[in-house]
């Protein structure tokens, strides 16, 4: 049953004002997706402002076991402008969707018995997925402010107030390599303002940050695209010699100088033009006819064999389903207008590696940086090079530490290394593409559970 419940918005930098009464539109226990007896779910909209139509779509799932003290994990997809429903239905949510557009119980959900997490999926920024709004967000900094406001609204409500002071985890992927670190930093900066009395609000202490297949630094990762195409570990050369020579020349003569100008100048047009040029001249030729999400697939791959399947799109096109969960409007997996705004602002051409480095340097937030080794969009060699290149206390140790075998039930499923002093772990997951949990759901769930306990390679 849907209800409309009044709340107070805690706007950034301001004290609570009764004049800013907001509403949270909730649909509780719709019976859609999570079908485990006794496990609650809530979906709906977080209405940010009473003088605009800005509202985030969210879907919350209780832990399947022992929920009283378990952490809350926020899942965000990337894009920018891609819906968190990708993560919910294709990667780590309580259900998947089959070719008959019916939900199927997912034993590898991240709220399952092995990790017992509360999960909340949020479509952001406004315009992504089922979220809506007239505020045209064009930067991660703006997005962070609105996300903080959203959780102030959520935690003010009786259904979610129990999460005040509880452990808070951010998990994300792809462009989430920008969202995750910046949101973490922003939440912590707001905590400091609350402590000082500058603002009123609920503190949100991010304790862990997980990023899979992240896009951190275009300059490093474009260079890695060339190296990966030259000889992708476990897969071999991805392009012929002539293409490789062309992309190497393009990187050195056009892409690298353009990105360096972006890094030095920061001008929106300079950065936008740089990433467009590099994508066209370097990345696209290395991909060729392959699926950039998974180099093992291409345009000849039969539709029934494509991983991950997209059956959930038909499911979310069913008005009866939308009525049950309280969603409004049509569903768009990734909103091109959002991506265009971020690109035109220059952000997609800039590096966000310094944000991750600052978090790693503080050592207060545990970091899991992982990715599938068949991913071309953000190949694991480039991710590893980003960590190796960033300015943080664990840099030398990370560079001197070899990758060790990651095992599950005696089977080697990847490689990892951990810098204990700075709470950072890097993992290469074998035979997985860009949305890594979609390809190796059991590995992703198991490693997630282990990470929460403190050791990614321990069966204890």
Residue 377 is assigned to a structural domain of this protein: yes
What is the phi-psi region of residue 213: left when phi exceeds 0, alpha when psi lies from -120 to 50, beta otherwise? Answer: left
Q: Which domain holds residue 76?
A: 1-220+311-460
What pLDDT shows up at residue 299? 86
Q: Which of 106, 161, 110, 89 is nearest to 325 (CA)?
A: 89
Which DSSP helix (H) or strand (E) runs through 55?
strand 55-61
Q: Minimum mean pLDDT among 31-45, 180-194, 392-406: which range?
A: 31-45
How large is the average pLDDT for residues 204-223? 97
- Which candidate in 54, 351, 375, 435 is catalytic? 375
Q: Does 19 have pLDDT greater than 80?
A: no
Q: Is residue 268 a part of any domain in this protein?
A: no
| Predicted local distance difference test score (pLDDT) of residue 375 | 98
Is the pLDDT reported for residue 270 higher than 70?
yes
Cβ–Cβ < 8 Å for 194, 232: no
Catalytic residue among 114, 373, 434, 435: 434
The dihedral sign for the CA sequence 356, 357, 359, 364: positive
| Residues 91, 103, 307: CA angle, nearest 5 degrees | 40
Q: Mean of the pLDDT values across residues 416-431?
A: 94
Say if 298 falls within a structural domain.
no
CA gap 460, 453 in Å, rounded:
9
What is the number of structural domains in the chain? 1
pLDDT at 188: 97
For the chain, give the percent of residues with pLDDT over 70. Answer: 93
Catalytic residue check, 375: yes
Helix axis angle, 380-389 relative to 353-362, nearest 10°? 60
Please indicate, yes or no, if residue 40 is contained in any of the structural domains.
yes
CATH of the domain at 199: 3.40.50.1820
Give yes or no for residue 209 having a pLDDT over 50. Answer: yes
Predicted confidence band of residue 116 (pLDDT cuts 50, 70, 90):
low
Q: Is residue 204 part of a domain?
A: yes
pLDDT at 7 (0 to 100) = 35
The single residue of 114, 174, 343, 345 carrying the catalytic annotation is 174
Active site residue 188: no
Q: What's the rounded mean pLDDT across residues 442-455? A: 93
Is there a catalytic annotation at residue 174?
yes
Residue 117 — pLDDT band, cuts 50, 70, 90?
low
Pairing of strands 404-408, 411-419: antiparallel
Any domain includes 274: no
């Amino acid at each position: 049953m849907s209800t409309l419940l009044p709340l107070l918005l805690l706007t950034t930098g301001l004290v609570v004002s009764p004049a800013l009464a907001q509403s949270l539109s909730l649909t509780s226990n719709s019976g859609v997706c999570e079908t485990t007896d006794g496990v609650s779910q809530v979906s709906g909209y977080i209405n940010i402002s009473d003088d605009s139509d800005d509202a985030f779509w969210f879907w919350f799932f209780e832990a399947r076991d022992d929920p009283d003290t378990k952490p809350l994990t926020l899942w965000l997809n990337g894009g920018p402008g891609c819906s968190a429903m990708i993560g919910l239905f294709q990667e780590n949510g309580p259900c998947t969707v089959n070719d008959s557009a019916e939900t199927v119980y997912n034993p590898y959900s991240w709220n399952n018995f092995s990790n017992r997490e509360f999960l909340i999926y949020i479509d952001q920024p406004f315009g992504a997925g089922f979220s809506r709004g007239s505020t045209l967000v064009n930067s991660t900094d703006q997005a962070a402010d609105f996300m903080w406001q959203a959780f102030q609204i959520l935690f003010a409500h009786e259904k979610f107030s129990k999460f005040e002071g509880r452990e808070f985890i951010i998990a994300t992927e792809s462009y989430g390599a920008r969202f995750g670190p910046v949101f973490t930093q922003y939440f912590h900066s707001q905590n400091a303002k609350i402590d000082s009395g500058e603002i009123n609000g609920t503190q949100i202490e991010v304790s862990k940050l997980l990023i899979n297949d992240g896009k951190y630094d275009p300059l490093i990762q474009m260079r890695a695209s060339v190296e990966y195409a030259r000889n992708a570990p476990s897969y071999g050369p991805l392009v012929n010699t002539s293409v490789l020579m062309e992309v190497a020349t393009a990187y050195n003569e056009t892409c690298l100088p353009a990105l360096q100008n972006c890094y030095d100048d920061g001008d929106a047009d300079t950065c936008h033009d740089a990433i467009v040029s590099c994508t066209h001249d370097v990345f696209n030729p290395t991909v060729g006819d392959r699926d950039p999400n998974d180099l093992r697939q291409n345009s000849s791959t039969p539709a029934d064999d494509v991983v991950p399947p997209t059956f959930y799109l038909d499911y979310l096109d069913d008005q009866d389903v939308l009525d049950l969960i309280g969603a409004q409007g049509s569903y768009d997996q990734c909103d091109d207008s959002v991506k265009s705004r971020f690109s035109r602002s220059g952000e997609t051409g800039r590096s966000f590696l310094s944000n991750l480095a600052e978090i790693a340097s503080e050592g207060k937030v545990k970091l899991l940086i992982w990715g599938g080794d068949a991913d071309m969009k953000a190949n694991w060699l480039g991710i590893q090079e980003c960590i190796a290149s960033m300015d943080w206390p664990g840099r030398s140790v990370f560079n001197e530490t070899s990758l060790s075998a990651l095992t599950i039930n005696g089977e080697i499923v990847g490689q990892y290394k951990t810098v204990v002093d700075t709470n950072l772990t890097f993992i290469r997951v074998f035979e997985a593409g860009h949305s890594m949990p979609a390809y190796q759901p059991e590995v992703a769930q198991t490693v997630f559970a282990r990470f929460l306990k403190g050791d990614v390679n321990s069966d204890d």
